[in-house]
Every structure is written in C-alpha cells, then in structure tokens.
Amino acid sequence: MIEGLDTLLADTRQPALAELRAACADLLGADRVRGRVIEERRLDTSGSVNRVRLEIDGRATSFIAKRSRPAPAQRNTFVTERWLPAAGLSDSAPRILATAAGRAGKAVWHVYEDLGELTLEQDRDAAAIRAGVGLLAELHLRFAGHLMLAEAREWGGDLGCTFYSSSARDAVTCLEAIPASRLEDDDVSALRDRLLQRMWELLSEEGERTDAVRELGGPETLLHGDLWLKNVSVVRGDGVRAKLIDWDHAGVGPAGYDLSTFLNGFDAEDRDAVLDQYREALSGTALAPPGPGELNALFDTFERARIANCVVWSAFAVSEGPHVEWAIEDLRMAEQWLGQLEPVLEAR
C-alpha cells in the first residue's frame, strides 16, 4: 500500500487522474510494497507537469508526471521508443515508465524517469555547455538522411520552408476570421489589424526567405523543435551528460531551426563561443553551418515563423473560446516579440 497514491495530484484538477493513479500503482507494485507520497510539486502553472516524490519500502524515489493532448503524447512516445533508439541515441531523453489515457481520449499521462532539477538554464559551466552542444550536434548529424525522418514528418511536422509559409498564411486566415463581436474593443481591433499587416509582410517575403532556407539550411534532420535551455537536462554523476526533455514540438527541418532557439538562450556575448563548439562538432559534414551573416538571416526566418505560428493559435482561440483574455494577451506578446527581434549573432 502506498499512502496518498489514491489522491495523487488531486489539487491540480487535471483530467484522467484515476487512470494515472492506476498506472502508477502498477508501476510501483502498490499491492506488494509499503510507502507514501512525500511531495507533489507543480513544474508548470497549469498543473499538467509535476514532480512526485515518494518513499517506497524505506527508499526515496521520484518521477515526473506529464499530461498532454494525444498528438504530442504520441510524438513523445515515438521519440523515446522509436526514433532515438533507431539512431543509437536511446539515452538522450528520459525514459517513459508508464502511460495512462483518459477514457474520453482527450488526455494522456506519461510517467517519466526523473532526471533531476538541473538544466542548462541554471547550470552553464563549461562541461554542461559542452555536453549540451555535443548532444545537439550528434542528434542533427545522426538523423540527416535517416529513414525515420519520414515517420517523424508524419507524426511531428515539417519545420522548414513549409512551416514558414503555412504559419504566415494560417495566421492571416485566423486573424481575419476573428468575429466582429470580439473586436468591439478598439485596442483589440487595432492589435488585430497591426498583426495582420505584419503577417502579410511575411507572406510578401515568402519566396526570398524560403529560397534562402533551401540554399543555406543544409540537409533535413530530426529537430527537437523547442530547444530552449530549460529543455536541456544536465545530469551529473560520473561526468556530465545532457539529455533533451519535452519533445512536444519535434519535427523535421534544417538544423538551424533548433540552433537559433538554442543560441538565443545564451547571453549575446557567449553565443559565438557556443556556435564555434557546434561548428567544430560538425566540421567536414554537410551540416556544418554557414557564416554568421547567412545564419542570422536563417535565424530571423525561423524566429518569424515561430511567432507567426503562435499568432495562429492565439487568434484561433480568440474566435473559438468563451474566455479569450489570455489569447489576446498572447497576441500582444507576439507583436512585442516581432518588434524586438535582433540578430542572434554579432557581425564578424
């Protein structure tokens, strides 16, 4: 018996908790051990990601419980159980220990091994950075031209030229579809109009930008898709290792898509040194990145595509949902991001 397991994460008010608790009981062998839940800690504001600490037969243990929609949950499963193993990178992401799905099919829980609290966001010593850069380069190199890219594109998506074009077009469609009843506030109406102008500008640059991605982006590879430093786990033990967490946005595209986000996580004065490590790891391969000027142009395209994609779903939510304040605030943030874009790398 494990005390507290029958009320696990009740305070989060998340869906499919009964199924999660049953999966955890099976995983931990609750009918054969004695223990208790020591701590539940939210790792995001919604309560969909939680660290759970337990004591089982006198030993401390922990796991991460993450609730996802079915599509990203399936993507994470493929990453962990098919794609990474196929390239010899099984140990580059946390293992999925158990899975539980709600009966309505709208929520899926994964129980992950707990890699600890350190990520490159907090732990940026030379060894940790070297481990993170090395793993990123190895991921991109091993998947260039890999058989699994076909499956990754189907289940993840295309994050190259198609992503730029479709994000800008869908943003225009969703902004124009916002009903008049949601635009009665003059500030919201003006915000919508300004973003529409921005998205039309992206579409006017579509040919030039996508041609540059095709020419300079290099071969397609598997992309993490959301490579902020908080998603690079630092594991210390016999040496320092890096693992990538939160593969919700994994897809296929040029390596620069990941690299731009990764470099943006570092202070401006440190980015050249990090890029040099990445470049050295890929020296002599088709994935060796171009010079800083070309990279800045590519990075700008990838950043604008990501922001346009945020506009898509925020504008969609303004049209669809009864409570839209958060979505309108996200549209304001997207406009702010567009206005603050600067070159990732200093000119050399």
User: Considering the entire predicted model, what is its pTM?
Assistant: 0.94
Looking at the structure, do residues 155 and 75 belong to the same domain, yes or no?
Answer: no
CA dihedral 263, 266, 267, 272 (to 10 degrees): -40
29 vs 7: CA distance, rounded Å: 17
| pLDDT tens digit sequence for 199-214 | 999 999 999 999 999 9
Looking at the structure, do residues 98 and 150 belong to the same domain, yes or no?
Answer: no
Q: Does position 152 have pLDDT exceeding 80, yes or no?
A: yes
Looking at the structure, do residues 73 and 203 belong to the same domain, yes or no?
Answer: no
User: How many helices, marked H, and strands, marked E, lie in the chain?
Assistant: 12, 10
Q: Does position 150 have pLDDT exceeding 80, yes or no?
A: yes
27 vs 348: CA distance, rounded Å: 54
> What's the confidence (pLDDT) of residue 346?
86
> What's the confidence (pLDDT) of residue 89?
98
| CATH code, domain with 149 | 3.90.1200.10
| pLDDT tens digit sequence for 14-26 | 999 999 999 999 9
Confirm if 295 and 344 have CB atoms less than 8 A apart.
yes
**76: domain range?**
2-113
36 vs 218: CA distance, rounded Å: 52
| pLDDT tens digit sequence for 57-104 | 999 999 999 999 999 999 999 999 999 999 999 999 999 999 999 999
Looking at the structure, do residues 86 and 173 belong to the same domain, yes or no?
Answer: no
Calculate mean pLDDT across residues 30-35.
Answer: 92
| CATH code, domain with 97 | 3.30.200
Length of the chain: 348
Q: Which of 47, 45, 44, 38 is nearest to 20 (CA)?
A: 47
pLDDT-based confidence at 323, cuts 50/70/90?
confident
> What's the confidence (pLDDT) of residue 348?
62
Looking at the structure, do residues 144 and 85 belong to the same domain, yes or no?
Answer: no
| Total domains, the chain | 2
Which helix or strand (DSSP H or E) is residue 138 part of?
helix 126-143
Looking at the structure, do residues 109 and 130 belong to the same domain, yes or no?
Answer: no
Residue at which a domain ends, from 113, 146, 173: 113
Confirm if 132 and 39 have CB atoms less than 8 A apart.
no
Q: What is the DSSP letter of 109?
A: E
Residue 346 within any structural domain of the chain? no
Residue 118 within any structural domain of the chain? no
Q: Which of 15, 252, 240, 19 is nearest to 131 (CA)?
A: 240
139 vs 31: CA distance, rounded Å: 41
> What's the confidence (pLDDT) of residue 91?
96
Looking at the structure, do residues 147 and 266 belong to the same domain, yes or no?
Answer: yes
Residue 347 within any structural domain of the chain? no
Calculate mean pLDDT across residues 269-285.
Answer: 97
24 vs 39: CA distance, rounded Å: 15
pLDDT-based confidence at 50, cuts 50/70/90?
very high
Residue at which a domain ends, from 113, 148, 175: 113
Residue 244: phi and psi, rounded to 5, are: -100, 130
Calculate mean pLDDT across residues 122-128.
Answer: 94
24 vs 10: CA distance, rounded Å: 14
Residue at which a domain ends, from 113, 135, 170: 113
